[in-house]
Amino acid sequence: EFNLNITVEDGFAPNNEETFINFRYEVDRDLLKQLTDRSSFGRLTIFDHQQHLRTRILDSLDPNGPLHDIFFVFSEESMAVAANQYLFPVMLLGEDATDFTTIEMRVVEDLWTQFRFQEGFAPRSVRHPDTFDFVAFNQARQDWQDENVLIALNAFEQGKSIVKHGEEEEAEEPPTSSDTKLVKA
């Protein structure tokens, strides 16, 4: 099984709850910007979220990248969370009765930054009781959820390969002159 082998010095030290809480509950404006930069005409799509999911997994695994996530864990549970999380805003908060693919960017920004639904929120099925198609909605949700699992799995495999390749390169590097002196001493 793939293990990132993160040391305490590099990650979340024991008895440091504040670091963990801040990490999990503070909105990362860079990540939010990564997502919102994908928008077109002030709207985000399912595809935008899926591309963000892929990029986020790859960035999380890159130990040399600025968005490396020292708490990153990938399991069946995290795949299921990602599969839903990255379609949740569009599917749940969208306005149209039949188009489940797009949402206003500001609605996503508000959800991320305020941790609440927009004022006057009601699900599509309540707002459009005569035209909302539950079967079509559930089919679209399931299809995108399945696709997100595949995106997450493929990105994780690609990320593992990148990390492994980086570790192999480090192992192959000849020692520097100071390392050679230490070895000889």
C-alpha 13/C-alpha 6 separation (Å) is 11
Confidence (pLDDT) at 170: 54
- Amino acid sitting at position 115: F
pLDDT number for residue 147 = 93
Give the per-residue pLDDT at 167: 60
> What are 2's two structure tokens?
């793939």
What is the per-residue pLDDT for 19?
Answer: 67
Low-confidence ranges of the chain (pLDDT < 70): 1-16, 19-25, 70-73, 166-185
Contacts for 110-118: CB closer than 8 Å, 24+ residues apart: 112/27, 112/32, 113/27, 113/32, 117/93, 118/93
Supply the pLDDT for residue 136.
93
